[in-house]
Structure 1
Amino acid sequence: MVAAHPQQRVSDLLAQHAQRIASLAKALRDEPGFEPSRHDDIWLLRYCLSYPDTASASRAAARGLSWRLKNQQDGVTRRVMALPIDAWPGYLECVPYLGLHVFMAEDAALLVALLVLRRCQFREMAAKVPTQTIIAFLTHLKEYTFAVTDAATRRSGVLHKTLRINLCAGISREIVSPYLWMATARANSGSATAFPQLLHAELHADPPPLLQLLFNRLVKPLLPPKTVEGEGRCPSHLAGFNPPPLPLSPGREDGPCLDRRRRRRECGRGRAAGRG
């Protein structure tokens, strides 16, 4: 059972972990890519919360910094925050095959990424879109969610994380692509230490036995341990939730909708249309 996301005040966490934060900053000061002006106490705090001691936190942070340098992730951060979402690499190619929805539940300190699997066409996407294009889009999306949750954390003073929900009702094996899932899981494992404290949980609603078997045997072994720890089930009544899809060409102001009240209005219209 995955625990509810607690409301964790940043000021309390910084005070509680002050000694470890100072030790971690000292351990990382000579690491390539480490800049105290950018990698401040809140950035260090995320590693202190993710790992049991300074040595393991230091190794993880060093791997994360190395991955970011190798993949020029700072440039990705600037792109996802400055460009309309349809200008991200891979967006227009991937979105027609994905029932993906992103919105901020500000009162729960969570950014919710909702995947409606009955609207997804993974096998067709794997056949028509190069794997590296798919991975590029998912990397930009992950960078975006980290940047947005970090900004919300600093704005509100409460630690924000991401909740991933997969609505599995209605999925058929014809749309499943184990190859694509394994490829993206391998790519995800490379960035495992670059986004500390990003994921609160990943929940599956009504997974059919075959899907759960494929996930457990092929995908889960490739996922970072922190992701596996947060994997679980969510209530079956979510299977009927019918949010509107992301637009194909949203424009800057209509990117992944993070306005909670607006998203609720849009979801309400989507459900009403579905009943009609």
Structure 2
Amino acid sequence: MSTSKMAIPQGWQLLPIVETIPSTNTWLKEHAEHLQDKTILIAREQTQGRGRSDRSFHSARDRGLYLSVLLKETISDLPLTKLTALCALATHRAIKESCQLTTQIKWVNDILCQEHKLAGILCEALYEGTHPKAFVIGFGINVFSQEFPPMDNQPGAIADFSPITPSMSALTFALLRHLDLCLQHIDDPKEMEEYRMASCVLHHTVQIQEGNRSYPADVIGIDDDGALQIRVGTKVRTLRSAEIHIRPANDVPSKTNRNAR
């Protein structure tokens, strides 16, 4: 994958593709002040790829798309949870368009296929005082089949499930195009409605992990800012930051799931 052969949508600025880097997100954060809006950094390999909650993201050489973008002008007061959700939606759409593979979204930022994690998104804000002045968004997508090291989730690659051979360049172009579209329609309620339709946790019972506390909850909604609405016993809560785990299929379905139409 070379810059000279990489087509990107109009308006984006693609830096030279790097061979190896600790983290594309970290590099863009460190150099953001001197870079233009909508700058893209792609690496063939990451040695310290990161996910949410400082988890590591396996980034084997030439087996995945490791791409980060810098946004400076299209941020306003957009909640980080909503931005993350829209980036997950863009990834979901891009995989469908370029690889003919339908995926699901596990709140808030994981892309799954048959319970295997294919991709994750990491959105990080850069602040000026208490106000965000830029966002760096990292996309880690497992594209080609590979041997994964032991990890908590069940990883997989697009090539393990796609009916066609994935194209890294086609996936990259589709991802940037759909990210553009999501950003252009930030306030359109249809975007979050499509996110809900792609969710694999909505109207299901999940396991919530908040710090050292773990408990089951029924997912009853996802609001327009991307926050998760849950029911625990008789109490309803809204979560903007937490880890969730899909409960085994033989668990008793939630009441909201049984009554869903």
Scaled by the length of structure 1, the TM-score of the pair is 0.27
Larger relative CO (CA 8 A, sep 6+): 1 or 2?
1
Q: Which has the higher strand share?
A: 2
Output the TM-score relative to the length of structure 2: 0.28
Larger Rg: 1
Structure with greater helix percent: 1
